Structure 1
Amino acid sequence: MDNTAWILKKYFVDKWRRTLRRKIRLHNIANAEEALKYKSLEEMTEFFTKNFSPHKNVKELFSGYAITQSTLNQIKHNTLIYSSIDDPCVPIGPLQELVQTDYVKFKPQEYGGHCGFIDDFKFSSSVYDEIVSKLDKDKI
């Protein structure tokens, strides 16, 4: 996320700081104030990973989110994986290297960013509509 447009980076860092200040105030979280000094999401994530999680580092933390071929091969229910080509946090390349299975199909979208597949300023989402339709019809 730190390698994206400065306005997105600023938005998410500021949003995380606001949330963090509120949580520190409400829950008296020891040592969390140090995270407020960091200017990047990567630094903040590294701080929280080292100080508030069982993981040794960010790489280990994010490995738990990885979609691997082994994981896909274990899925035995119809599954659609929506991903966004323009996601600044999760690159689509590794996903595109995986092989779809009889149960798992990929639905890459040109746009969608990291936080949603929003089509317009009314917050419409064709992906949302497709998912609802599939759930209603197919009972995925």
Structure 2
Amino acid sequence: MQSQLSYLRYHLAGFSLGGNFCLRVAAAAHDHAIRLSSATAFCPVVHAELANSALVEPRNWLYNAYFVRKWKRSLRLKNLHFPETYALEQFARLKSLDDMNRELIPRYTSFTQLSDYFDAYAIVDDRLRKTVCPCYLHFAKDDMIIPVEGVERINNHGNLQIVVTEHGGHCGFLSNWRFDSWQDERLVQIVSSFEPTKP
């Protein structure tokens, strides 16, 4: 995008798995000549194995069903374009995320072990040490998908600003009882802070 569209500043933001991707891009930006002014993540997946374990808990059956449905929809689209690679009858019997992970990851990725696959896109330990732009991470203690304990596994090398709130659930940070989005306000605040102050 930067090769086609020229702007003074580029900001990247993401939610959940998109937040994880956003932070990994920020960590790789310097090595790949990607210009970023900031990266903002709300409830980013810290380690997929932790998130997957939370998702398959009985209390999260609704989330599990949602992601299974969403994944199968994606597979149906792939089958439409690549029927020789993605056979629908193979997926019909898969009822949970655990089933789908065990079946699909070894088949369609270079990983034979689920643990290796999950670890490949974790942001724990020193994975974010190469970030050169400010990164803003937001977590909630009552997030039912991203265990807040995982935040302690992120090593902060100075460019990370980590905010942990009491409430917010999974990407549901609100400002008030009218359901105004605190996330939107926060993102505008962050991006605006990089604009030059008007006299």
RMSD over equivalenced CA pairs, Å:
2.8
Residue in 2 that maps onto 1:137? 193
1:27 to 82, 91, 115: 82
Alpha-carbon distance between aligned partners in 1 of 2:152 and 2:186, rounded to the nearest angstrom: 21
Alpha-carbon distance between aligned partners in 1 of 2:117 and 2:142, rounded to the nearest angstrom: 23
Q: In the superposition, relative to structure 1, how do residues 12 and 71 fare at CA in structure 2: closer, same or farther (>3 Å)?
A: closer
Residue in 2 that maps onto 1:7? 62
The structural deviation recorded for 1:127 is: 1.8
Q: In the alignment, does 2:160 pair up with 1:104?
A: yes
CA contact (8 A) 2:125 2:155 kept: yes
CA contact (8 A) 1:67 1:95 kept: no
Give the 5 Å matches for 1:28-67.
28-33=83-88, 34-67=90-123
Unaligned runs of 5+ in 1: none
Alpha-carbon distance between aligned partners in 2 of 1:43 and 1:95, rounded to the nearest angstrom: 27
SS at match of 1:14: helix
Residue in 2 that maps onto 1:94? 150
CA contact (8 A) 1:23 1:29 kept: no
Which gives a bigger RCO, structure 1 or 2 (Cα 8 Å, sep 6+)?
A: 2
Alpha-carbon distance between aligned partners in 1 of 2:140 and 2:104, rounded to the nearest angstrom: 26
Alpha-carbon distance between aligned partners in 1 of 2:112 and 2:178, rounded to the nearest angstrom: 42
Q: In the superposition, relative to structure 1, how do residues 64 and 136 fare at CA in structure 2: closer, same or farther (>3 Å)?
A: same
Q: In the superposition, relative to structure 1, how do residues 45 and 89 fare at CA in structure 2: closer, same or farther (>3 Å)?
A: farther
- Aligned pair count reads 137
Runs of 4+ with deviation above 6 angstroms = 120-123
Q: In the superposition, relative to structure 1, how do residues 20 and 101 fare at CA in structure 2: closer, same or farther (>3 Å)?
A: same
Unaligned runs of 5+ in 2: 1-54
Q: TM-score, normalised by structure 1?
A: 0.76
1:35-91 per-position Cα deviation (integer Å, ceiling 9, x unaligned): 221111122122221001111222111112212332343333221112343444432
Residue in 2 that maps onto 1:70? 126
The structural deviation recorded for 1:2 is: 1.3
SS at match of 1:70: coil
CA contact (8 A) 2:140 2:168 kept: yes
CA contact (8 A) 2:111 2:117 kept: yes
User: What is the percent sequence identity of the aligned residues?
Assistant: 20
Alpha-carbon distance between aligned partners in 2 of 1:64 and 1:111, rounded to the nearest angstrom: 27
